[in-house]
């Protein structure tokens, strides 16, 4: 790698500059911030094929995927530009004064969301563009009015640098204060550690492994001033197959699941790592159909050697557990940096008695759980950890019959998918990409969609503040024409 890790001094300078820039950036109008976000999107587009080529070289991801991911990245940026221009996102609440109220007058109170301060964003290995340098965390933090310090992911440092340079060009062109965006390299964990520990850092966004996210979460909580960390970490995204529908649709279900399990060499955080069903004729037909699809596969290059090694290690560990049976695997021996699709199965009681089987195996792998009956299915669901998604496949009558399962799954996951696959995370206001621990460190927030901005803001109330000193969002005549709760009613 051509990039040197940032020194402790460089880290300190970057965070200080970020904090200094925050003092002016937080006061810029939404229009100015939106212009910046759109310029970022444009500058990233302007990188043209060089960006695609570099990302392909660094991540082994195919061209179509990188191009699609670039679209997702610029889409994020433009979405947040529009969202902050609209302005209603600040959750303005206004309660006007009642000077005659007895025994004490009611003051005028006006509240809105304001940015937290400098946010440290960690690039994600599996999304070199959409969850890295100009990804969802950066876009939502900058949209909120926070400044951002990106720690480039070492596995795609060159891609990250290209995007960082594009962002800096966009900042310059849009008249954004110097230092609003900072970019540091760090192959060593100490760089990230120092960034999270810096007293001027006010929040952290992370997408990656459980070990990495949890370590940053712990560090942030051990600070003299603890700060919020949104880490999206570990999810096995259970898929429940209801029996009657499976009997009828096992071929179609197997094809869809095989595609979802192997998509992007299984390197999506929503990869279906667990398939749960009641054992019956339909289930065995399904397993055979799924096995046929998996057996057709060949090992493919993963993002980097470390991920491939980890996959091989975790896979080996899982397969070594008592009661775990291989059902199908891709043909041929995997080369260096390659991951081999594999499906295994176990009974519900094997799963319930071995916590290791509930851990994520990041790669093209899924474990099928055979439940003896509906009761056992419910027990397996009740014992699941927190997940990003839970999927149920069944026709309407059967879904109604298994309502309790769906309710139990709702307690475990951020998104409930009906008759689909968990992979494919739509970017829109209704998306929830988050979930109970260990899927994320705080189930109350999302990493995708417009609500991702909420991770990086806090409310401030102004009491009896003269009109002239109020932010435009809270002025009496609503100059920005945003939706506000005015004396208890939604109004524009």
> Which residues are catalytic, by number?
232, 269
Q: Shortest distance, CB of residue 10 to a copy of itself, whole angstroms? A: 24
CB nearer a copy of itself, residue 329 or residue 451: 451
Q: Shortest distance, CB of residue 331 to a copy of itself, whole angstroms? A: 28
Position among 280, 465, 472, 475 found at the interface with a copy of itself (CB under 8 A): 465
List, as one string, the DSSP characters of 185-248: --SSHHHHHHHHH-TT--EEEEES-HHHHHHHHHHHHHSSS---EEEE------EEE-HHHHHH
Give the number of residues in contact with a copy of itself, rule: CB under 8 A.
75
Q: Which stretch binds a copy of itself (CB under 8 A): 5-13, 142-150, 249-257, 454-462?
A: 454-462
Q: Shortest distance, CB of residue 269 to a copy of itself, whole angstroms? A: 15
Inter-residue contact 83 to 145 (CB < 8 Å): no
Q: Shortest distance, CB of residue 23 to a copy of itself, whole angstroms? A: 8
SS3 at position 149: strand
Q: Shortest distance, CB of residue 368 to a copy of itself, whole angstroms? A: 22
Cα R_g (the chain), whole angstroms: 24
Tokens of 428: 């829109």
CA distance 431 to 367: 26
Q: Shortest distance, CB of residue 106 to a copy of itself, whole angstroms? A: 6
Cis (ω within 30 of 0) for the bond into 414?
no
Pick out residues in 400-439 that bind a copy of itself (CB under 8 A).
Answer: 400, 403, 406-407, 410-411, 413-420, 424, 426, 428-432, 434, 436-438
Cβ count near 319 (within 10 Å)? 16
Q: Shortest distance, CB of residue 43 to a copy of itself, whole angstroms? A: 25
213 binds a copy of itself (CB under 8 A): no
CB nearer a copy of itself, residue 156 or residue 412: 412
CB nearer a copy of itself, residue 7 or residue 222: 222
475 binds a copy of itself (CB under 8 A): no
CB nearer a copy of itself, residue 13 or residue 416: 416
* Residues contacting residue 43 through CB under 8 Å, at least 6 positions apart: 166, 167, 169, 170, 173
CB nearer a copy of itself, residue 327 or residue 401: 401
Tokens of 465: 């503040």
- Within 47-114, where are the H helices? 48-59, 63-86
Pick out residues in 299-358 that bind a copy of itself (CB under 8 A).
Answer: none
Pick out residues in 218-277 that bind a copy of itself (CB under 8 A).
Answer: 218, 221, 225-228
481 binds a copy of itself (CB under 8 A): no
Q: How far is CA 302 from CA 56, 192, 309, in A?
A: 11, 24, 10
List, as one string, the DSSP characters of 360-425: ---SSEEEEEEESSHHHHHHHHHT---EEEEEEE--HHHHHHTHHHHHHHHTTEEEEEESS-S---
SS3 at position 449: coil
Q: Shortest distance, CB of residue 26 to a copy of itself, whole angstroms? A: 8
Position among 137, 232, 451, 473 found at the interface with a copy of itself (CB under 8 A): 451
Q: Shortest distance, CB of residue 336 to a copy of itself, whole angstroms? A: 32
CB nearer a copy of itself, residue 271 or residue 446: 446
Q: Which stretch binds a copy of itself (CB under 8 A): 138-146, 157-165, 181-189, 394-402?
A: 394-402
Cβ count near 23 (within 10 Å)? 11
Position among 12, 42, 107, 247 found at the interface with a copy of itself (CB under 8 A): 107
Tokens of 488: 């208890």
Position among 72, 76, 111, 183 found at the interface with a copy of itself (CB under 8 A): 111
5: Cα within 13 Å, side-chain hemisphere: 12
CB nearer a copy of itself, residue 211 or residue 461: 461
CA distance 280 to 371: 9
CB nearer a copy of itself, residue 163 or residue 409: 409
Pick out residues in 117-176 that bind a copy of itself (CB under 8 A).
Answer: 117
34 binds a copy of itself (CB under 8 A): no
* Residues contacting residue 295 through CB under 8 Å, at least 6 positions apart: 328, 329, 330, 331
CA distance 357 to 391: 19
Position among 298, 459, 476, 481 found at the interface with a copy of itself (CB under 8 A): 459
Q: Which stretch binds a copy of itself (CB under 8 A): 32-40, 105-113, 158-166, 323-331?
A: 105-113
Compute CA 238 distance to the chain's CA centroid, rounded to the nearest angstrom: 17
List, as one string, the DSSP characters of 341-366: -EEEEEEHHHHHT-GGGGS---SSEE
CB nearer a copy of itself, residue 50 or residue 396: 396
- For the chain, counts of helices (H) and of strands (E): 15, 19
Per-position x/- string for 75-94, each x denoting binding to a copy of itself as judged by CB under 8 A, each - no binding: -------------x--x-xx
């Amino acid at each position: 790698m051509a990039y040197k890790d940032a020194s402790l001094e460089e880290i300190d300078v970057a965070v200080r500059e970020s904090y200094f820039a925050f003092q002016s950036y937080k006061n810029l109008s939404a229009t100015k911030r939106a212009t910046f976000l759109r310029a970022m999107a444009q500058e990233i587009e302007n990188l043209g094929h060089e960006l695609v080529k570099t990302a392909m070289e660094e991540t082994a991801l195919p061209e179509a995927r990188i191009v699609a991911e670039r679209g997702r990245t610029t889409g994020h940026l433009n979405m947040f530009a529009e969202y902050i221009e609209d302005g209603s996102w600040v959750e303005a609440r206004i309660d006007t004064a009642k000077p005659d109220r007895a025994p004490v007058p009611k003051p005028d109170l006006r509240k809105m969301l304001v940015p937290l301060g400098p946010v440290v964003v960690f690039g994600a290995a599996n999304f070199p563009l959409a969850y890295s340098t100009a990804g969802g965390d950066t876009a939502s933090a900058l949209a909120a009015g926070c400044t951002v310090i990106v720690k480039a992911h070492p596995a795609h440092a060159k891609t990250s640098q290209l995007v960082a340079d594009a962002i800096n060009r966009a900042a310059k062109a849009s008249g954004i204060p110097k230092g609003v965006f900072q970019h540091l390299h760090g192959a060593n964990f100490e760089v990230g550690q120092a960034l999270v520990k810096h007293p001027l850092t006010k929040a952290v966004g992370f997408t990656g492994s459980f070990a990495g996210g949890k370590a940053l979460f712990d560090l942030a909580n051990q600070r003299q001033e603890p700060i919020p960390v949104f880490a999206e970490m570990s999810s096995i995204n259970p898929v429940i197959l209801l029996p009657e529908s499976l009997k009828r649709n096992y071929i179609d279900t197997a094809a869809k699941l095989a595609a979802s399990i192997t998509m992007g060499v299984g390197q999506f955080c929503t990869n279906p790592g667990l398939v749960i069903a009641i054992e019956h004729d339909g289930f065995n037909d399904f397993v055979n159909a799924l096995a046929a699809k998996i057996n057709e596969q060949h090992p493919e290059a993963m993002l980097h050697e470390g991920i491939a090694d980890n996959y091989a290690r975790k896979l080996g560990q899982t397969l070594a557990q008592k009661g775990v049976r291989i059902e199908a695997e891709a043909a041929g021996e995997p080369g260096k940096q390659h991951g081999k699709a594999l499906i295994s199965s176990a009974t519900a009681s094997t799963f319930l008695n071995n916590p290791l089987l509930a851990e994520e195996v990041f790669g093209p792998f899924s474990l099928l759980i055979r439940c003896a009956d509906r009761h056992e299915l419910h027990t397996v669901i009740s014992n699941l950890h927190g997940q990003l998604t839970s999927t149920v496949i069944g026709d309407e009558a059967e879904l109604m019959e298994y309502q309790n399962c769906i309710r139990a799954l709702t307690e475990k996951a951020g998104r409930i998918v009906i008759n689909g696959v968990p992979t494919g995370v739509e970017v829109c206001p209704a998306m929830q990409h988050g979930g109970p621990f260990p899927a994320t460190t705080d189930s109350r927030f999302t990493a995708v969609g417009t609500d991702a901005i909420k991770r990086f803001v806090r409310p401030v109330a102004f009491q009896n503040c003269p009109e002239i000193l109020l932010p435009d969002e809270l002025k009496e005549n609503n100059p920005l024409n945003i939706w506000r709760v005015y004396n208890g009613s939604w109004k524009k």
